[in-house]
Each structure stands twice: as C-alpha cells, then as structure tokens.
Amino acid sequence: MKINGIPYRSIWVSPEDRHAICIFDQTKFPFAVDILTLRDKHAVADAILTMKTRGAPLIGAAGAWGLALSLRTDPGNEAMEESASMLAGTRPTAVNLRWAIDRMLEKLRPVKPEDRYEAARAEAALICDEDVMQNEAIGRNGFDLIKDILKNRPSGKQINILTHCNAGWIATVDWGTALAPIYMAADSGVNVHVWVDETRPRNQGASLTAWELGKHGVPHTVIADNAGGHLMQHGLVDLVIVGTDRVTRTGDVANKIGTYLKALAAKDNNVPFWVALPSTTIDWNIRDGIKEIPIEERSASEVSHIAGMDADGVFRTVRLMPEGSKAANPAFDVTPAHLVTGLITERGCCAASEEGLLSLFPERS
C-alpha cells in the first residue's frame, strides 16, 4: 500500500545492505513514519517483543527473516535450532510466528550449513510474497460479501463496517486481512465508512487503523471500545470484520482483547460478524480455543499508562491510575465459533466450523 504516494510493504530487504531488513517502527505511528533497519536475530526479536513490528502475519514474516539473518553468522544445526526457539518464543498467541519458523526449519534442516543462509533468504522472501497474495485474495473474497449486503440497497448508500484492533496492511506484509476487503470496496467506489475501535490498552485502532485508513482516503470514525454495542442497537453497524491471531480447526477465534464482547453484541443485534485470515493463522492441531490457545499477558504498564502527543508536539507517556492500584493485561481473547458468522480466507468464505474449514482445505481432513 502507499504512504504519500510511495508504495511500501511492511517488511523489506534494505536497499543499502542485503544482509539487513527494514520495518516501520509501529510504536511511532501515527505521529511519525520511522523506518528501522534490523541486522540480526536479536534486533528482530526485540522488534517483535516491543511491538515495533506486530500483527499475526507480519510477525511470522519477521520471525522468518530473523532466522535467515541468524544463519549468516552461524548456520550450524545447534545455533539454528536455538535461534528458531528464541524467535518463536517472543510472542505466544499468534500461531503465524510458530508456523513460519517451522516452515523455515523444515526447509533448512536438509540443507548443508554453508548453503543455508541463501536458502533461508529465499524462503523468507517467499513467505512474504505468499502473504501478500493471500491477503489480496482475502480482499476479493471479503469484497464479495460486501457486495452481497449492498445488493438489496439503494445504490450509493453507505455501508458501515466496524473493526477492532489493527488488521490492516501494516499488520501483514501488505493489504491486511480485515481491512483488505474494505480497501477493495473503497477503491471500487463503494460508499464505505469504518467504525474503528480504539482498542485499549495499546490503541492499535486509534493509532494504526485510523492512520492506515486515513492515508488511503477511507472515511472512518474512531470510537471508544465500549461504543460498538450501542451503535449496533441503533442500526449503525452493517457488518463487523476483524482479523485473528489463531483459529482452531473448529473455528474458535483468538483476537485482540475485546473482540469477544463485540461478537456478543453483534449476535444480540443480528449484525454479521466475519473474521478474515490467511490459512497460516489456522492451528490445525487444536480444537478448543478457550482451553488451548495461549493468551499473552503483557505488561501492566500498558494499562496503567497511556502514550500520545501533547499540544506542543511532544510524545509523552502519562499515568492513568492511582499509584497503588494493580492492573492486569491479557492481550487477547477467544471468540467461540458459534458467535462467528463466517471466516474469510484466501480460498473463499466458509462457516466457522471444522466442516466449513475442511470444505476449503480438504487436504487437512
């Protein structure tokens, strides 16, 4: 996608040094577009841990590149396995990270150590390219859903879509998952408006989704996380589309904390609740999302404090709570499959169920 007319992906090989990769520092959005150059696995691991780079598909791509860079200095078996576990352990909920590292290891284990670095670079680049193609296909499939909703409406009528967190192009290598259909609809002239949940505590909606949509010229309104149910009760939401960090083979969906409450409100108000994902987000080994998906617990300081820019243009972090109060910060929740209208994948849309997923991915039966 473009920033000020210049096309970017969210991760790329440095044009100055082929042994380094570049990412955006997402902790600086929307106030600055800072590009970071990462030269080794430690820098990549730190960028994932501190959420300079984030979003399920993107941390998979970053992990793959982190492993590739590690093989330049030590391509031996022991070092490769150690680097792989270190990178895979940086964030627990998004299965894309583990998936990408496993795919890299499967490719690289049979390769001679001296050939591993180049083989790893090629595989990491392929993971990135495939992510772009999958998300573009998700965009087309999700746009078909939007067209279905619009079929029975007067032409030009606005469609209101609510989304949570950031599942846009900067959460993937390009296009995004939940936002890909919205970009395609907007580009085709559909009158689309997006309700953007601010997404406390880190505010990925307010800071990232709003920034992306604004750069692409998509009309949007940021709302407090608790406003969605009210808007649904008043007929102001036609459709919810969110991304996900892990989907079980039975269709349970882990996504940013607060997604479950939106799904409950959507069910109560007959608002379709769709989840967009590349197949790299499906964990075919688990069935019960609530029991089996590990939920990342992040620092309490993300709840007790908030960061932003003051009126003088100075970036500040301020405390919100009394000093003695405790804070807890589970970063994701699980929406059970029965609350999900359906899944939008690169192979098409399906019910959030084992049958639904297997109808699109029969090789997994």
Q: Which residues bind ligand MRU (CB under 6 A)?
A: 54-57, 94, 165, 167, 171-172, 176-177, 204, 243-245, 255-256, 331
- For 105-256, where are the E strands, in sequence order? 159-163, 192-197, 220-223, 239-242, 246-248, 253-256
Residues ≥6 apart with Cβ < 8 Å to 30: 207, 208, 210, 211, 214
Pairwise CA distance, residues 229 & 11, whole Å: 35
Q: Residue 62 or residue 150: which is nearer to ligand MRU going by CB?
A: 62
Q: Residue 70 or residue 93: which is nearer to ligand MRU going by CB?
A: 93
Phi, psi (deg, nearest 5) at residue 4: 50, 45
- In Å, how far are 227, 231, 259, 287, 348 from 234, measured between CA atoms? 11, 5, 20, 35, 31
Pairwise CA distance, residues 290 & 295, whole Å: 9
CB of 56 to ligand MRU, least distance (A): 4
Coil, strand or helix: which one is 82? helix
Q: Residue 231 or residue 331: which is nearer to ligand MRU going by CB?
A: 331
CB of 132 to ligand MRU, least distance (A): 13
Count of helices and strands (H, E) across the chain: 13, 18
CB of 137 to ligand MRU, least distance (A): 14
Q: Residue 10 or residue 160: which is nearer to ligand MRU going by CB?
A: 10
Q: Which of 197, 225, 238, 245 is flagged as catalytic?
A: 245
Residue nearest to ligand MRU (CB): 243
Q: Residue 80 or residue 212: which is nearer to ligand MRU going by CB?
A: 212
- In Å, how far are 44, 66, 255, 332 from 259, measured between CA atoms? 28, 30, 6, 8
Catalytic residue flag (residue 310):
no
Sign of CA dihedral 22, 25, 30, 31: negative
Q: Is 135 left (phi over 0), alpha (psi -120 to 50) or beta?
A: alpha
CB of 340 to ligand MRU, least distance (A): 14
Coil, strand or helix: which one is 317? strand
CB of 222 to ligand MRU, least distance (A): 16
User: What residues are annotated to the active site?
Assistant: 245
